[in-house]
Structure 1
Amino acid sequence: MNSKPKLWIARRLSDATLERAQRDYDTIINTDDRLSTADEIVAMSAKVDAIIPCHSELFNADVAQRLDPRLKIIANHSVGVDHCDLPALKSRGIVVTNTPDVLSDATAEIAMLLMLGAARHAVEGDHLVRSGNWDFWSPSFMVGKQVTGARLGIIGMGRVGQAFARKARGFDMEIHYYNRTRLTPDKEHGATYHSTIESLLPLAGFLSLHCPATPETTGLMNAERLAQLPPGSILVNTARGALVDEAALLAAVESGHIAAAGLDCFVTEPGGNPAFSSHRNIFMLPHIGSATVRTRDAMGFRALDNLDAFFNGETPKDKL
């Protein structure tokens, strides 16, 4: 690169990422780390050649049509790109990339935390001790659902789903999965493939979602599908909030059909769903699946790798 392209980093990324970006690009950083409006995104597009946004910045059809022709590439600091209208951006000649591979293990760790926490009353137990109200014990006290040896269903056996399956094998779980295409035997590692979600659900004492949010998967876990899970099952979602019909999940939890849930993502973010808050068998985290130092550095560097390739006249590795 003979001259430094102008880059806008739309959120406060890791220190290592910002240091490298400032070395290689003429960089504008959102140091306030606040969410930008659609008008602010459009205005900034006239000042820069590239943007590194997160999933919080929305590039819908309206925004895409209003972007300035100066903007050439959007290098997402995320794997999911449901915040981007890809056809609309492509029609404007804007390249879009993401950051696959590097956050699989961190997200799988959070899925394991949520599964264990939901199964073993983590929210209720923490509240009881923290509030000073733990004054009782008996063999029937806070009895949960055992994970070891249980049957686990995974919807979406991509990178994160496979990473979660690897960790679940450490708990001797019996793994069943649904995916658009069956994995090769060397990637299945003995997991049982289901060609339909409907054949998977009745077997899943635990169900973990790892598929992208698309028009086809929005509301994937609705009342009908939740009812197909075994009574007392546990739902985990570390993918996208749009996959779950939250009203249906709330009803299933209140009826007892779903024993507990572990959620790292919600339909409304930030904020979550206030209706879940009164249920201590719903273990919630604020969309922090990839929030480790190692992974944040890796995501930032992957986004910058894509920019480097683009501005060097090459096809970015993660071009969508």
Structure 2
Amino acid sequence: MPTTVLVLVETINDYLPILEHQGFHLILAPTPSERAEAIARHASQIDAVLTRGPLGLYADEIAALPNLKIICVIGAGYEHVDLKAAADRGITVTNGAGVNASSVADHAMALLLALVRDVPRCDAAVRRGEWPKIMRPSLAGKRLGILGLGAVGMAIAKRAAAGFDMSVCYHNRQHRSDVPYTFCSTPTELARASDFLIIATPGGLGTKHLINRQVLDALGPNGFIVNIARASVVATADLITALEQRRIAGAALDVFDAEPQVPQALKTLSNVILTPHVAGLSPEATQATVELVGKNLTAFFAGQPVLTPIEMPSSVGSAVM
């Protein structure tokens, strides 16, 4: 009998044949109603679940799946997967950390360029028949701060330093002796040392609201912030107030607290650029992500170690970056 995988992710349909060709039986449930129906109808058949961080898998759902053995999370974040419930059942959880790093880093730099150079407003003006001469800062020679120097943060740092001649500093859970970038001991220190600040750390309780009023004030009225990580890292109310009062120059956001709902205040501000959580989406990244899921599933059901296991609750509290 083939292994049955419940697929909750809505963006990977074109690449699901990768898993089917490996012999896995897939149940697709990309909407909340389909998800609830699939769990109710096929609970005893489901051996594995494929999800992503914002979609998660909750304790009651885990409890409803008596034969669930492994949860595979697309991307690095797994903030809405109930790890305690999984650990209590001995369920393995994997993620896709680093697989889409290039795509996310590309998007981060695209947002930074569009924000600092005010590309959307220039585009809109030309479409209206206007020809404004808007003078905006250059990226060259500026100071880039990166919160979280994992795979995505490293990819951003390399693009910024080598491609735009920027100096790079970072804040991380631990100092990294293997990089040429400057370590800052706190997010506030990082913001103070930066012209531009990019958020590239995982979500979860360990990083919640690391970026708050104090950090935004340290970034200052000429500073720009880009978030391609998780909305929970930034105190949204503090960010909106700072933008409205021009205590920072602007923000570009790919992630939001209650996706797909976006605060109206962010939509109305002229110093904000918004994208719909697409930083990690590219054909290359999606294919590589699904291939990694296939490798993890194949290894697990062959009794071999999975490639990208997530640390379970005994050590999760310290794994914030």
1:8 match: secondary structure: strand
Please name the residue that 2:5 is paired with: 7
Percent identity reads 31
Please name the residue that 2:172 is paired with: 179
Please name the residue that 1:28 is paired with: 26
Confirm whether residue 149 of structure 1 aligns to residue 141 of structure 2. Answer: yes
Residue 127 of structure 1 and its aligned partner are, at CA, apart by: 1.8
Deviates more, 1:119-128 or 1:204-213: 119-128
Please name the residue that 1:311 is paired with: 301
Please name the residue that 2:48 is paired with: 50
State the alpha-carbon separation in 1 of the partners of residues 149 and 308 from structure 2.
19
2:308 match: secondary structure: coil
Residue 194 of structure 1 and its aligned partner are, at CA, apart by: 1.4
State the alpha-carbon separation in 1 of the partners of residues 219 and 54 from structure 2.
32
| C-alpha RMSD of matched pairs (Å) | 1.9
State the alpha-carbon separation in 2 of the partners of residues 36 and 94 from structure 1.
25
1:67–1:145 distance in 2 versus 1, CA, 3 Å = farther
State the alpha-carbon separation in 2 of the partners of residues 8 and 61 from structure 1.
16
Check conservation: 1:237, 1:263, Cα contact below 8 A: yes
Confirm whether residue 75 of structure 1 aligns to residue 72 of structure 2. Answer: yes
Gaps of at least 5 residues in structure 1 are: none
Per-residue deviation, residues 207-256 of structure 1 (Å, max 9, x unmatched):
00111112131122111221111321000000001111111111111111
Residue 102 of structure 1 aligns to which amino acid in structure 2? Answer: V
Residue 95 of structure 1 and its aligned partner are, at CA, apart by: 1.0
Deviates more, 1:118-127 or 1:39-48: 39-48
1:76 match: secondary structure: strand
2:225 match: secondary structure: strand
State the alpha-carbon separation in 1 of the partners of residues 126 and 218 from structure 2.
35
Check conservation: 2:254, 2:275, Cα contact below 8 A: yes
Q: 1:280 aligns with which of 270, 274, 291?
A: 270
Residue 78 of structure 1 aligns to which amino acid in structure 2? Answer: G
TM-score between both structures, scaled by the size of structure 1: 0.90
TM-score between both structures, scaled by the size of structure 2: 0.90
Check conservation: 1:77, 1:299, Cα contact below 8 A: yes
Please name the residue that 1:124 is paired with: 121
Aligned residues: 308
Gaps of at least 5 residues in structure 2 are: 311-321
State the alpha-carbon separation in 2 of the partners of residues 14 and 69 from structure 1.
26
Residue 37 of structure 1 and its aligned partner are, at CA, apart by: 6.9
Residue 42 of structure 1 and its aligned partner are, at CA, apart by: 3.9
State the alpha-carbon separation in 2 of the partners of residues 76 and 166 from structure 1.
26
State the alpha-carbon separation in 1 of the partners of residues 210 and 34 from structure 2.
29
State the alpha-carbon separation in 2 of the partners of residues 295 and 181 from structure 1.
27
Deviates more, 1:198-207 or 1:109-118: 198-207
